[in-house]
Structures are given as structure tokens and as C-alpha cells.
Amino acid sequence: MKRVSIDPITRLEGHGKIEIFLNESGDVENAYLQIPELRGFEQFCVGRPVEEVPRIVTRLCGVCPAAHHLAAAKAVDAVYKVEIPSAAKKLRELYYNVYYVYDHTLHFYYLGAPDFVVGPDADPAKRNVLGVIEKVGLEIGKKVIEHRRYAQDLQIMMAGRSTHPVWCIAGGVSKGLTKENVVELQEKGKKCLEFALFTLQVFDDLVLKNKGYVDLILSDAYRLEVGDMGLVDAQNRVNFYDGKVRVKDAAGREVAKYSAHEYLANVAEHVEPTSYLKYPFLKARGWKGMVEGKESSIYRAIPLSRLNVADGMATPRAQEHYQRMYKTLGGKPAHQTLAIHWARLVELLYAAERWLELAADPEILSQDVHTIPTETPAEGVGIVEAPRGTLTHHYVTDANGIVTKANLIVGTTNNYAPISMSVKKAAQGVLKGKEPNDGLLNMVEMAFRAYDPCFSCATHSLPGKMPLEVKIFGPDRQLRQVFKR
Amino acid sequence: MSFEPRIVGILCNWCSYTGADLAGTSRMKYAPNVRVVRVMCSGRMDPTLVLKAFQEGADGVLLAGCHIGDCHYISGNLKTLRRIPLLKRVLVELGIEPERLRLEWVSASEGARYQGVVNEFVEQIRSLGPLDLEARRLPATASAS
Amino acid sequence: MANAKLKVGMYWAASCGGCDVALLDIHEKILDVVAVADLVFWPCAMDFKVHHVEAMPDKHIDVCFISGAVRNSENEHMVKLLRRKSKVLCAFGSCAHIGGIPGLANFWDRQSIFQTVYHASPSTENPKGTVPVERFKVAEGELTLPHLYDTVKTLGQTIDVDYFLPGCPPNPDQIAAVIGVIAAGKAPAKGSVVGASERAMCEECPRKKTELKFKSFKRRHLTHPDPEVCFMEQGIVCVGAATRSGCGWRCIGSNMPCRGCYGPLPSVHDQGAKMLSAIAACIDADTPDDVERILDTMPDPAGTFYRFGLPASMLRRRQRGQDGREAR
Ligand code: SF4
Ligand code: SF4
Ligand code: SF4
Ligand code: FES
């Protein structure tokens, strides 16, 4: 049996490795995605004052600290049973949409685009954001850097820091906005909206107008039929900050809709000996292993899932693009793994539109942004939609507010089983009858990168990077050859 | 093998050191386990010193200064009075029994008191057993099996 | 030599990736960096693999930045490899410098983390009591995982480090400045902390201080602090007195107290002990009982004073009893 290892997998946030086993005829027998890290936040949050948690758990992940910050803050609000002021709620959502613009931009241009723009089999030295800039021109490259910067700077303005914010506290936020702040938010929001539209255009020109890529997106190797999960508002439209978690199966039937505090009745996690990361699944269906189909207990929680579970987008332009996307993909639910990139850009547009809506709301100037909690702290769950999936934080405290238990189900963790399955399928499809080479292996990695997996946060438990090393084992299991991209 | 506690005594120059000296010159018998470090005032008993003593192998640390009101620098011992309880709380979290750290007020004339404190403390540490940080520290970096 | 491009590497050990993001946060200056430097290894953003590093001659990388603590055998292997391949090696960020937030795991150990994550967690369904193992036979062959250590280590406790760039993550302006200095060949003395000031946060903090004395501690979320006045003066624990400045007092500016990510001041051996002294000095009580009563209002002193620096502290971690029991 031949063995191909991809170690470390690159251009995603966190460590990981893929092991691919080939049989005698050179076809893929099995593929394993292993996460080698564990940090143990669930354990070392114990003993900490719960109000400190939102500024500790940000370190689960330097790429989506805002998501952890907010999920923890919502959980801590619930621990204290405190209703935060309406202005604080709007500020948090506004901040989160600014963050989304930043994060989706980062993913698309820095992590995802190298595959499409530079090409999956380009020289590894060029397959990165600098290569993207080379290809699309410095002009556009600068534009990308500039808009990413706007969103980063505004997060600093609102939350004190961009990476690892310190702003949300039990009962609200630590400070409000000034008039100048709001003007800046509005001005930069307009620019980011333009930029989101521009990015969709780039995707159109570079990807959708390229038949090769469209075929790739629609190909079987990059298709996975499992359920979907995402947060929706009262009208079942996508919302990142608040709402209910809606779950649909692979056939598009709603199988659950729950509030944060009901998560334990709906999801559970399975342990395998080969990875430090657990595999979440739909509790009602039980762990059935990594299988596809309408009865599968595996679900995805990715941009495409959020669009799949929702009835639509809450903002007009995003709604147009939403409809257009489903038209092209052949209706809902869509299961094409590479279409996640597209869904992510529809969300980018939504985030920019929602940002502008909230920035125009006069209430965000209110200085009533923090309600002092008065109830005895006890237990709370907070859920937000992280860019990489539904994020659940759960804390139990003693009467003094010291954490006694913490439980986390992190965005990427939700997608662990589907990513593993997608990698295997892509390997089977792409490597079939071909000698593995660098470009082919990158195409395997693309399946995985589409999820924008962040094993740094999934391994909140441990962080990591993803390298790719391909070890080929002969049928006698002797190492024959090592490919390291 | 019987365990002989190693204790670091950090004593204020003006009262406690003189008191210890008195115990010595009066030929009072007390356990020889305390190695004395003299500082000018208990106010100089930095928590870092205490940690350093433990780190370097002390099983217990005895701090002694002038009685409240008698500090030659007026409020040095008040600082100590506030600091050491906090240090003890931190030690508990670091897995070191707070009883391994003892703060006493001993004046220049209290040779007998010093004798009593030392003897008692040595027995207390004896019953706690060695701190033995090196052995108790978890296999810090055990390499991959 | 003078105009050869600098070969720069960036690696993450047990890291959250925030340090990599901070490097990107120098924004358009990254283009200046690329003009003078070739990035030869950066798993977060570029497609170079470990074998590319293994194939490099020793001392091939001019400057290598490493973020993250050392948490498992893989981290240790990689940082040792990169040490061999690098001329100058810089610990990047709090985790590499002093252990960082992941270092809070040193209040616990591997066993208790496994117990919580794989057994006790309320969402985990694990009837067979499975845990990850370092070697596991699957039908097709054997799969391996790195060994998770009981104790988180700093980079400097693992390999020889030339410079330390503090912060969680470091302030991007400081990153750009440090890269500029190194690129100009004006390397500071070995062992230096770079990209930070030599002074305490309190000295640069703009909040007004008059008299630091209080009769009880207040928890930040249970107050509406005056944004102009020193937190400590309002009874809110702020570790600025024991922390190096250089971040631009980011948290304080956001109306939140400092938690010490820039690490200890020069010549301070234990950030927690230093902070403990500073705080104790403000307690307004003259009797042991009053002192205890006031201290009862401050939750988790150890986890606050050692929020970022437990692995680098003098005791490095929580100790266990001789028989392996917790000494409580
Ligand atoms: S120092 Fe902070 S930002 Fe950098 S890796 Fe550690 S936790 Fe992340
Ligand atoms: S204690 Fe904190 S708020 Fe007060 S001066 Fe120091 S850094 Fe500023
Ligand atoms: S204020 Fe303190 S915790 Fe915040 S960034 Fe600065 S050094 Fe770090
Ligand atoms: S001089 Fe003895 S305690 Fe201050």
C-alpha cells in the first residue's frame, strides 16, 4: 500500500496533516486528516473569574478572536442573566460585521485565491498572496491590503485591539463610540461595500468565466452530501451575531432549530484515537461514522451551510447574489465544496451592507452600553456564527463567578468530519490512476482549504499549521518514496 | 532516612536578627535548620526572594521583622503584613503549601520567642515533608515516547 | 553581501496564529519587507513545507521569527530544526517569549486536560473511553500524533533565542520597526527584548494617579470606572505596574485594565511576584484580618498576575504533591 502524507498543510490557520493510502492499483484506499494539537482551554479556564474569559479565549485563535470574544461574552451575559443595553447589542453586531469583512477578505485573497488566481499547480513559491498580487497587479494588491486595513483599524477603534479584542464584558461593552468614530465607520463602510462588490466581480472574472474552474467546482470530487448548520434570525435569514441555530439534512429538510442553551440536546462529539480533535455530529441521529447522504449525522457549518439553511439574506444586494449563486449551482441545498468560496463572498457583501445599516443607526452613539449585572452568576451558553462555523461557548461558575466548567464547540470543529471526507473524495477523484505530484496534491488540499479550516481554533485544544508531506508506502508497507510539496 | 528540613530565614536587621542573635548568645537551644539572610527591614522581603528560596531548594521560608509599630522605617513591616497573605494565596495556586511560609514579629529582646518560632516551624516543615520541587515538578518535557 | 536579500522565516509552534496576523497587520509595509527580504518559510501564508527547511544548509535563514509556546514533541522538533537553519532567531509574541495564555495550562497537566476534553465534557459521547494515542494502527498502516507535554515551555527554555519581541500579539508598528532595524544590520545585543520600552506601563499610561489606596477590590464588569483615572486607584486590578510598556496601552485605552502581555520589566525575574508586591502596597489595612477581608474580594490572584507568564515564572508551573496529589 502506498502512503501519501501532506504535512504540514499550509495556508490555513492551524496545524494538521493528511495521510493518504494508495492501494496496489494506485487508487486512494483511505485518507486521514489528523490534528496533532491540543491546548486545553476547557481545562485552564477553570479557576478563572468568568468576566476574564472573553479576553482569555480570544487566544483560541488569532484569526477569529472576535468570534470567540463575542461567543464568550454572550455566554457570560447568560451566566449573569443580564440583558445588555440595546445599543451595546447593536455595537457588538456592527463590530462583528466589520470583523467579517476583514476575515472573509483575508481568507479569499490570502488563503483561497492563490489556488484560483495563481493556479493550483503553480510554483509553490508563487502560490501565496504575493503571487496573487503579482498576477492581478500591484494596484489591486494594494487595494486588498488597504481594505483589510480599514476593517482592522476599525476593530482597534471599537474594541481596543484587532487581534484579541478586550471590549466585551458581562453586561455589554467597555466603551461607546464618538461622533467621529461613527463618521469613520460610515465612510469606510461605504468603501468596503464597494470592495465587496469588486471582489465578487473578481470572482466572476477569474473563476466563473473560466470553464476549467467551474467544471472543477461542479465536479464530483468536490461534492459532499451532508447536513448543514447555521444561525438564522427571526425571519430565517443569515445572521452572524444572534438568532437560532437551524440545521437541515442533506436533502434540505429542517431537522432542528435551537437556542444556545439547548445545544447539548442537539449536538454531540465523537472521539477517535488518531486525532486530538473531536468529531461533532447531530445527537438525535447518533454517530454513524463518516458517511454521506440524507440520513447522515454529519453536518457542515460553513458559509455555504449558512446560506443553505437560511431562507435568504437580510440585505438587498447580498440577496441578489444569493439567488444568482443558487441559480448557477442548480438550486438549494448546494453541496459543492469549492462553492464555499462563492458563498463566502456573498457573506462578505452581506457583512458590508449590514455594517452600513448599523452604522447609520443613531442609537450606536448612545453611551448607555453597559448594564451592571446584579444576579448571582451560575451557568450560560453563548453562540455566534464564526466565519468557520457555529461557535458554542458554555461556562458554569460558582456563586462568586469563578469558572468551574467550560465546554467549547468551535467553528472548524463542526467541519472536522466533512473536511476529512472531502479530502478523501478529492484525493480519490484527483489522484485516480495518476502518480501523485505537487499540483495534484495541492488540489487535494484545495478541498480542505475551501472550508477555511482553522485548526488553531479547533484545537482550542491545540494550535497548528498544515503542511503537506506525501509518503508512499509499497504494498509491503515499506516506505518507497516521500513527496513533500 | 530522616528528613532534615532546609529553611531559609529572612530576618530584619533591627529587631529579628538581633533577637536571633540574642537566642544564640544566650545559648538557647534551637534547631539548626534555619539559614539566615539578613535584610535591613522586613519591607525589603520581596516575594521574589521567597520564590527564589523555594526554587533553590528550601523546604520552608521564615520571615521575621519588628512588631507592628516598631519598624525602623515606620511602615516597612506594614507592607509585609499586606504582602505575605497575598503571596500565600498565590503559593496555594502554585501547589506549594502556604504553611511552608511563615511570617513572625520578633523584637530584639525576644530571643526565647525566636527559639520557639524556629523549633515549631522546623517541626511543621518536618511533618509537611520535603518540598523537593525538582522531583515534584511534573515530567516537564518528557520527550515523545 | 550588502545587497543580497535577507532570507526570513516565520513559524508557529503552539500558537493561535494571531502573531502571523500581526505580521500581516503591518499592511502595506509588508511590500517594503518583501523588497528587502525573501520569505523562505511561513506555513500560515505560504506553500513551503518542512522538507524545504530540512533541505536547507545550516544557518541558511538569516532571521527566523517563531511564535507560540512549546507544547508538544512536534513543536520541539520544529523549533530545534529551525534553530539549526537560522542565523538569528527571534521569539515572536508572548507565547514564545513568556508562555502566553496557553501557558495557563501549567496550572494543570496533560491528564486533567484529557479528562476534561475527552471524558467529562458534556457534549462528548465517548462510551468506549477513547483518547488520542501517539501511535495507532488503522487498517492501512500506522498513524502517529505528537506527544503532548504536561508543561508548556517558552521558546527560550527550549532553544537558544537571540531576541524576544513581546506582546500578544506584538504591536504591528513595533514589528515593522524591529524588522527595519534587523534588515539594516543594526542588530541589538543578543538576548535583548526588542520592540518594547524599558519602562513600566504605569509610567506611560495617561490615566490620572493620585493616591493608590483601597479598601476592597472591584471587578471590572461590576463597575463603571472613570475612564480618566487609574484603574488601581478605583480598586480594579491592573497589572501595568509589573508590565513593560510598548503596546501603546491598548487595553487601557479601551477602558479595560492591562493583563500583562508585554511581560516583565527589565531585570524582573518574576512578573507575578513583582505585581503582587505592587498590589499589596495599595491595600489600605493595618491588621491581618482586614488584609484578609480585602484580599477575599480579589478573585484568582495567581491567574491574574501570571496571566501570560506562568511558564516563564520562577516556579514555571503548579507543583504536585510527592505522591502526585495536588498540594492544596
Ligand atoms: S502571543 Fe498571542 S497572538 Fe501570538 S501566538 Fe501567542 S496567543 Fe497568539
Ligand atoms: S495601574 Fe494600570 S491604569 Fe493605573 S497607571 Fe498603571 S497601567 Fe495605568
Ligand atoms: S495593555 Fe497590557 S495586556 Fe493590553 S496589550 Fe498592553 S501590555 Fe498587553
Ligand atoms: S526595620 Fe524591622 S521591619 Fe522594618
Q: pLDDT tens across A55-80, in order?
A: 999 999 888 899 999 999 999 999 99
- For the stretch C149-193, pLDDT in tens is 989 999 999 999 999 999 999 999 899 888 888 878 787 889 999
Kindly report the CATH class assigned to C6-101+151-193. Answer: alpha beta
Q: Is the pLDDT of residue C144 over 80?
A: yes
Do the chains contact at A484 and C52, CB–CB below 8 Å?
Answer: yes
Domains of chain A: total? 2
- For the stretch A239-263, pLDDT in tens is 999 999 999 999 999 999 999 999 9
- For the stretch A367-381, pLDDT in tens is 999 999 999 999 999
Q: How far is the CA of B28 from the centre of ligand 4 (A)?
A: 24
Asked if residue A89 and residue A25 are part of one domain, the reply reads no
Which of A469 and B45 is assigned the larger pLDDT? B45
Q: Which residues of C touch A65 (CB under 8 A)?
A: 16, 18
Nearest chain C residue to B92, by CA: C328
Q: Tell me the pairing of strands B60-65 and B101-105.
A: parallel
Asked if residue A107 and residue A215 are part of one domain, the reply reads yes
Q: Is the pLDDT of residue A469 over 50?
A: no
Asked if residue A146 and residue A23 are part of one domain, the reply reads no
Index of the ligand 4 atom closest to the CA of residue B40 = 1
Report if residue A419 sits inside a domain: no
B113-130 residues labelled b (16+ CB within 10 A) or e (exposed): bbbbbbeebbeebbebeb
Report if residue A73 sits inside a domain: no
Domain ranges, ordered by start, for chain C: 6-101+151-193, 107-149, 201-297
Of the listed ranges A116-130, A231-245, B103-117, C104-118, the least confidently predicted one is A116-130
B3-31 residues labelled b (16+ CB within 10 A) or e (exposed): eebbbbbbbbbbbbbbbbbbbeeeeeebb
pTM, two decimals, is 0.92
Report if residue A24 sits inside a domain: yes
Average confidence (pLDDT) over A324-335: 93
Index of the ligand 4 atom closest to the CA of residue B16 = 2
Asked if residue A14 and residue A89 are part of one domain, the reply reads no
> Which residue's CA is minimally distant from atom 2 of ligand 3?
C258
Chain C contact partners (≥3 CB pairs within 8 A): A, B
- For the stretch A414-445, pLDDT in tens is 888 888 888 888 888 877 777 777 777 777 77
Of the pLDDT bands very low, low, confident and very high (cuts 50, 70, 90), residue C145 is: confident
Q: How far apart are CA C70 and CA A37, in angstroms?
A: 11
Which of A136 and B141 is assigned the larger pLDDT? A136
Query: Which one of B10, B11, B14 would you pick to mutate in the ligand 4 pocket, going by the greatest count of ligand atoms within 8 A of its CB?
Result: B14
**Burial of C185 per CB tally in 10 Å (0-12, 13-18, 19+):** exposed
Q: How far is C49 from chain B (nearest CA, A)?
A: 22
Give the pLDDT of residue B15: 92
Q: Is the pLDDT of residue A136 over 80?
A: no
Asked if residue A121 and residue A22 are part of one domain, the reply reads no
Report if residue A427 sits inside a domain: no
Give the pLDDT of residue A8: 57
Give the pLDDT of residue A1: 59
- For the stretch A173-223, pLDDT in tens is 999 999 999 999 999 999 999 999 999 998 898 888 988 888 888 888 889
Give the pLDDT of residue C44: 61
Residue where a domain terminates, one of A371, A387, A414? A371
Average confidence (pLDDT) over A344-358: 97
Give the pLDDT of residue C213: 86
Asked if residue A197 and residue A121 are part of one domain, the reply reads yes
Report if residue A364 sits inside a domain: yes
Q: How far apart are CA A54 and CA A264, in angstroms?
A: 21
Q: Is C103 in the pocket of ligand 1 (CB under 6 A)?
A: no
Q: How far is the CA of A48 from the centre of ligand 1 (A)?
A: 19
Query: Which grid cell is A13?
Result: 490557520
Asked if residue A115 and residue A169 are part of one domain, the reply reads yes
Range of the domain at A343: 83-223+336-371
- For the stretch A39-48, pLDDT in tens is 789 999 999 9
- For the stretch A296-320, pLDDT in tens is 999 999 999 999 999 999 999 999 9
Q: Is the pLDDT of residue A238 over 80?
A: yes
Report if residue A353 sits inside a domain: yes
Of the pLDDT bands very low, low, confident and very high (cuts 50, 70, 90), residue C51 is: confident
Residue where a domain terminates, one of A371, A392, A416? A371
**Residue A262 neighbours by CB under 8 Å, 6+ apart:** none
Q: Which of C49, C102, C133 sits opposite A8 (nearest CB)?
A: C49
Of the pLDDT bands very low, low, confident and very high (cuts 50, 70, 90), residue C1 is: very low
**Residue A449 neighbours by CB under 8 Å, 6+ apart:** A11, A12, A111, A112, A115
Do the chains contact at C19 and A278, CB–CB below 8 Å?
Answer: no
- For the stretch C63-87, pLDDT in tens is 999 999 999 988 999 999 999 999 9
Q: Is C251 in the pocket of ligand 3 (CB under 6 A)?
A: yes
Average confidence (pLDDT) over B65-80: 93
What percentage of chain A has pLDDT greater than the value 70? 86
Chain A contact partners (≥3 CB pairs within 8 A): C
How much is the mean pLDDT over chain A?
A: 85
Q: Is the pLDDT of residue A354 over 50?
A: yes
> Which residue's CA is minimally distant from atom 3 of ligand 2?
C230
H or E element in which residue B38 lies: strand B34-39
Q: Which residues of B touch C302 (CB under 8 A)?
A: 89-90, 93-94
What percentage of chain C has pLDDT greater than the value 70? 94
Closest to C163 (Cα-Cα) out of C134, C137, C186? C186
Q: How far is the CA of C102 from the centre of ligand 1 (A)?
A: 9
Of the pLDDT bands very low, low, confident and very high (cuts 50, 70, 90), residue C46 is: low
Give the pLDDT of residue B91: 95
**Best mean pLDDT range from A463-477, C46-60, C267-281:** C267-281
Q: How far apart are CA A23 and CA A444, in angstroms?
A: 17
